[in-house]
Structure 1
């Protein structure tokens, strides 16, 4: 497959703004965050969907694995994982894309909503790949879907369903997890789900074209804070030497998961040590934004850290793989508190948190639902008074 032109349309302005400005300027995040009262108060009793939310918020089920999505006639995929939202071409409705973490099969599905939030369509945008876990959206309105397998690839897909997906080998072949685009430095940051994984960035030769460029790895010391640099990976195809072993001085992380960029900062999670890391791109330093072992009193509200996204308020939302099956919010003043809890699904994990373009709806999935099986996935929407 060759490079093609994706739809940009009227939505590109909103998309770029959402990608580069989801957190308010000046949000400090003087790590590490500690438990406290969240901005929306305590969780209420479970609703009919088994979801606990703060007062004023409601949930609904959008899709279930193996079942038709609304009245679309499209069957939702198994094991829903990473996801993102895109404004539609008219700027009124939106699209939620969701990976399928199965192997073989994988791929990505999309659900389309009108301005009222009603489901108007569902369709496939990527098929016949392997264990598509997380990924990331680009400022030019494409979804990067990442394979979480050895020598896995990144596929650039069209959320609007008009263009064929393209495998982007220049972004490296390794056990990919998530991606986040930085429109200021014109780079894509990539996490690696290995116990000795690395954090990478891809610098395209031409911004907006991911067919060629330099894959680099973060180089730093062994401490949990300090300064960092970048070094080119000599052989991005990862064979015979894996990408994470090619550069002396590369910093290794214990199971890279979610990744999010906003306002000269990259946040990414590592599941092996329940940490949220923060890269400060203006001064090339890194630090811990959250570490469950550093919580005062030892009662950590956030464990099993996984996918991460941000809101216009400056809040970060971190999903749990296990734990109490929660999405926790971390505020700019370093308070961490539960925002969503799913009951009766302890054999699952929460995946794919993403806000609608207007910031009023949060989408996410329980990958294995009540059954504990990949065929039991459930995708939800939460609506309520999210702060601006």
Structure 2
């Protein structure tokens, strides 16, 4: 990412907007919050044959459908595809996807292997017997952390390049949503999908080994910006007292969803208030990167915020759970616009956005597709002139 300097706005007090006039540095530094503007790729065109509206120069294809064999393989794609990530694999890559259904309905995670041309060559299970695997996160050592969204949910470390999945109970038992690894501080950030949830980080005893370490929770005031600290969670098992209720002063977030780390910044989304938060890790401060109530001029383009990922250029791509079935892009210039819209699938949600290592293909799923049921999921790939 290029180094940039931005004039940052900070929200101070309870809902009062002010501008500090201070300069913050960093390639992934965003002023806050993002505002409406024309998108970097231009307006959306009419829907294509797959029902997807895209800017000029971009095309979509269906990669897999729930209940059907992945093309070129004999593997049946799972129901309710959710969080996902891409991994380099020789001259090709692997796309991993969670299944947000119960263990009896095939919960867990699957992978598709692609060759250099983007053609599927293999597909298989990498996790079985788990429930409501919603989002997760990729590690620097090429494992996929698949997170269970249940009250006693666990993080499962899976091995797309080969290996047996294993639970990581030291990372806490709560309604896990997403994870994002920070190789600089050697921690993994974790979101919690509760209306009074918290934001956590796991500090492994040994980086690269998630079997032991400390679970910590973010402690901060009630405002939408300020400073933060971390406090140890005494009992990561969360029984009998939930992890979010163990530390006085833990900051509450309304329905934690996606999480993404890049260049000393971690972003995460909260669905209950349609916000994207950012933690400026070097400065030890937090603020809003997006708030649908603060978009001017309106209307707000992004509602139902959910999964989030970043491009090699530094743009953030945020998927909607509901809304208009869109993926919106927030740029380093603090603008937000619609990148794509899926039509004819209003009973679904967009999940699992992830770029290939080269940054020129974007995978994502419509969790329930045109049918509106978990068995109707569709996984797509979009190619085109992405900024890299």
Q: Deviations over 1:209-240 (max 9, x none)?
A: 00000000000000000000000000000000
> Which residue is equivalent to 2:112?
111
How does 1:214-233 map onto structure 2 within 5 Å?
Answer: 214-233=214-233
| 1:312 to partner: Cα distance | 1.1
Q: CA deviation at 1:71?
A: 2.1
Corresponding residue number in structure 1 for 2:298: 298
Matched position secondary structure for 1:110: strand
Separation in structure 1 between the aligned mates of residue 360 and residue 187 of structure 2, nearest angstrom: 28
Q: Aligned partners of 1:130, 1:347: CA distance in 2, in Å?
A: 22
Asked if the contact 1:22–1:311 (Cα under 8 Å) also holds between the matched residues in 2, the reply is no
**1:322-379: CA deviation from partner (whole Å, max 9, x where unpaired):** 0000000000001100001000000000000000010000000000000000000000
Aligned to 1:150: 151
Tell me the distance in 2 between the aligned counterparts of 1:157 and 1:30.
Answer: 35
The answer (yes or no) to whether the contact 1:23–1:315 under 8 Å persists in 2 is: no
Is 2:282 the partner of 1:282?
A: yes
**Larger deviation, residues 183-192 vs 295-304:** 295-304
1:14: which partner in 2? none
Q: Within 1, Cα distance between the matches of 2:82 and 2:301? A: 22
Q: Is the 8 A contact 2:133 2:148 kept in 1?
A: yes
Report the counterpart of residue 199 of structure 2 in structure 1: 199
Q: Which whole-Å CA distance do the structure 1 matches of 2:186 and 2:297 have between them?
A: 41
Which residue in the other structure is 1:159 paired with? 160
What CA distance in whole angstroms lies between the structure 2 residues aligned with 1:364 and 1:206? 33
> Equivalents in 2 of 1:125, 1:22: separation in Å?
36
In 1, the alpha carbon distance for the partners of 2:204 and 2:149 equals 22
Displacement, 1:103?
A: 1.1
Change (3 A) 1:69 1:22: farther
For the residue of structure 1 that corresponds to 2:338, the secondary structure is strand
Residue 266 and residue 127 in structure 1: after superposition, are their counterparts in 2 closer, same or farther (change >3 A)? Answer: same
3-state secondary structure, aligned to 2:293? helix
Matching residue of 1:180:
180
What is the count of residue pairs matched by the alignment?
Answer: 365
In the alignment, which residue of structure 2 is the partner of 1:322?
322
Partner deviation per Cα, 1:127-181 (whole Å, 9 max, x = no partner): 0100000000000000000000011000000012x21100000000000000000
Output the CA distance in 1 between the equivalents of 2:80 and 2:373.
8
Measured in 2, the distance between the counterparts of 1:40 and 1:62 equals 23
Retained in 2: the 8 A contact 1:23–1:311?
no
Deviation track 1:88-107 (CA, whole Å, cap 9, x = no partner) reads 1x2x1000000000012310
What corresponds to 2:16 in structure 1?
none
Q: Say which SS state the counterpart of residue 296 (structure 1) adopts.
A: coil
The runs of at least 4 aligned residues of structure 1 exceeding 4 Å deviation read 21-25
SS in 1 for 2:297: helix
State the TM-score, normalizing by the size of structure 1: 0.93
How far is 1:50 from its partner?
0.1
Gap runs ≥5 in structure 1: 1-20
Aligned to 1:210: 210
Residue equivalent to 1:309: 309
Instruction: Kindly indicate whether the alpha-carbon contact (under 8 Å) linking 1:23 and 1:310 is maintained by their aligned counterparts in 2.
Output: no
Distance, in Å, in 1 between the alignment partners of 2:298 and 2:150 is 34
Q: Contact 2:2–2:27 at 8 Å: present in 1 too?
A: no
Give, in whole Å, the separation in 1 of the partners of 2:28 and 2:99.
Answer: 33
Whole-Å Cα distance in 1 between the matches of residues 76 and 276 of structure 2?
A: 35
Change (3 A) 1:240 1:80: same
Cα separation, 1, equivalents of 2:158 and 2:102: 18
Higher strand share: 2
Is the contact made by 2:29 and 2:265 (CA closer than 8 Å) also made in structure 1? no
Map of 1:12 onto structure 2: none
Give the secondary structure class of the aligned counterpart of 1:302.
coil
Give the 5 Å matches for 1:340-379: 340-379=340-379
CA distance in 1 between counterparts of 2:170 and 2:273 reads 30
Separation (CA, whole Å) in 1 of partners of 2:149 and 2:36: 32
**What residue number does 2:269 align with?**
269
Query: 2:255 aligned with 1:255, yes or no?
Result: yes
Runs of at least 5 residues in structure 2 that lack an aligned partner in the other structure: 5-25
TM-score, normalisation: structure 2: 0.93
Tell me if structure 2 keeps the 8 A contact 1:274–1:303: yes
Kindly report which structure 2 residues correspond to 1:133-148, keeping only aligned pairs within 5 A, or say none.
Answer: 133-148=134-149
Alpha-carbon shift at residue 298 of structure 1 (Å): 3.2
Partner of 1:17: none
Q: Distance in 2 between matches of 1:217 and 1:99?
A: 25
Deviation of residue 27 (structure 1)?
3.5
1:101 corresponds to which residue? 100
What is aligned with 2:77? 76
